[in-house]
Amino acid sequence: MIGRRGDRLQRIFVTLTDAGPPAALWHAHPIFRRLETAVESYRRALAATRRDRAPQEWASTQNNLGNALRRLGERHTGTEQLEQAAAAYRDALTIYHRDRNPLDWAMTQNNLGAALWRLGERDGGVNGLVEAVASFQAALSGYRRERVPMDWAMTQSNLAASLRSLGERLPGTDLLEQSVTAAREALREFVPARAPLERATAQRHLANALTSLGEREGGTPRLLEAVRTYREILQVHDRERFPFDWGMAQNNLGNALALLSDQEHDGTARLNEAVVAYRLAIQGFRQDHTPLERARVMNNLGNALTMLGEREIETRRLLEAVATYREAMGGFDHTHHQFERASAQNNLATTLHRMSERDDAEVYADEAAASYEAAAHSFESMGADFHAALCRFNYTSFADIAAPVPELAHQPSLL
């Protein structure tokens, strides 16, 4: 949406499976080696198994190969292993049929959806996410809730995540509403006493969708529910046992609080709470272990600091925001995280623009213009036309001193 204050382009990071060890430690982790060995073993088994003579065994091995490749691909920055995983699942689905093998077919559809969701998150478009949603919906048509309630609920939770991801890249609120519905369905089965961790994951998907809806619709009910839900998650994902999930929940709590600040009469207290939440999240994401997640939270912290700085006469907060955005940009790889880097650069441009208005400093104005232009070019190069257009609109308006500056709303990164 278009709002009163600085450009904040959205980036969504939601995990459908367990987060696993931090990326920087992944290659040294025993699970990595076991998965690599598993991939080699499954490929040898497939070479020794004829599809026409042992179709069920062949399909099961393809599904297992896909699982191993997907888990490896989730912790790598590229897409090759995820693409191979999707291909393996599709091969398995040439044997599994909904009528003859409903549970195997549904399980493989769910797994395919997880791989497609990961791919869709990384390519910046919508096609992969559309396919992911379709796969999860297909899986639900094969799972009967009364027969396999936990599998049904897990797929509902995954569907909620993919619908929100897709809804964030398309206008309107229908997909986000569907995401909320799917997450609530999952929570009907994931009761605290029986499945506390699965419940916390579904709650995260619910709260993320509520945050996005609250930002688009205006008003406070959705955002207030999101804040309550994130705080419930933090009761399960404590820092000692689940530091990564704790950091994500703190970050997302900060997002909801920052958005609430725009809807309330005097949201300064909410913004200060958001800053505290982001700083806690940063403590959980070490530079040497989780640099990407840390960069995402730094971008969000920059948003909150800018919003506070716009309410104050002094420029201390704005200067801190500029430094925070620059640190965030350093954590985003040019090739694999171009969208996030462009978003942070756009946010930096807005804050520099605010600095130029306060200090009448030409150096801030020149850097703001250059940052807007660079961010727009990056969005265009990856086909993110909507974000590129809004960024260029800001840049054009900024160049016209006589015109008011229309800006993108503060849109924080959801983890």
Give CA separation, 8 vs 58, 302, 370, 406, in Å: 48, 10, 17, 12
| Per-residue pLDDT at 408 exceeds 70 | no
Q: CA–CA separation, 132 vs 268, rounded Å?
A: 39
Mean pLDDT of 397-406: 48
Mean pLDDT of 321-342: 89
| Per-residue pLDDT at 184 exceeds 70 | yes
> Residues 292, 331: contact at Cβ < 8 Å?
yes
pLDDT tens-digit map of 1-18: 223 333 343 322 222 233
Mean pLDDT of 221-238: 96
> Residues 309, 354: contact at Cβ < 8 Å?
yes
> Residues 354, 321: contact at Cβ < 8 Å?
no
pLDDT tens-digit map of 148-159: 999 999 999 999
| Per-residue pLDDT at 204 exceeds 90 | yes
pLDDT value at residue 1: 25
Bridge-partner residues for 12, per DSSP? 414
The pLDDT > 90 percentage for the chain reads 63
Which of 143, 138, 194, 133 shows the shortest CA–CA distance to 164?
Answer: 133
Q: What's the number of CA atoms in the CB half-sphere (13 Å) around residue 228?
A: 7
Q: CA–CA separation, 50 vs 341, rounded Å?
A: 47
**Domains in the chain: ranges and CATH:** 12-330 (1.25.40.10)
pLDDT value at residue 224: 97
Q: Which residue has the tokens 């725009």?
A: 262
CA 208 to chain centre: 9
pLDDT tens-digit map of 254-269: 999 999 998 887 889 9
| N- to C-terminal Cα separation, the chain | 20
| Per-residue pLDDT at 206 exceeds 90 | yes
Mean pLDDT of 134-161: 97
pLDDT value at residue 402: 32
Mean pLDDT of 117-128: 88
Q: CA–CA separation, 350 vs 393, rounded Å?
A: 12
Q: CA–CA separation, 137 vs 152, rounded Å?
A: 11
pLDDT value at residue 266: 82
pLDDT value at residue 333: 80
| Per-residue pLDDT at 128 exceeds 70 | yes
Written as six digits, the tokens of 363 are 């150096």
Task: Give the residue ranges of DSSP H helices in 49-143.
Answer: 55-74, 80-93, 102-123, 127-142
Confidence tier at 292 by pLDDT (50, 70, 90) = confident
The pLDDT > 70 percentage for the chain reads 87
| Per-residue pLDDT at 329 exceeds 90 | yes
| CA triple 39-82-182, angle to 5 deg | 120
Bridge-partner residues for 366, per DSSP? none
Confidence tier at 339 by pLDDT (50, 70, 90) = confident
Output the average pLDDT for the chain.
86
| Per-residue pLDDT at 45 exceeds 80 | yes
Which of 113, 204, 206, 199 shows the shortest CA–CA distance to 150?
Answer: 199
Confidence tier at 27 by pLDDT (50, 70, 90) = low
pLDDT value at residue 15: 24
Among 2-11, 67-76, 153-162, 210-219, which stretch is predicted with the lowest mean pLDDT? Answer: 2-11
Q: Which amino acid is at 163?
A: L
Among 162-176, 207-221, 249-263, 378-392, which stretch is predicted with the lowest mean pLDDT? Answer: 378-392
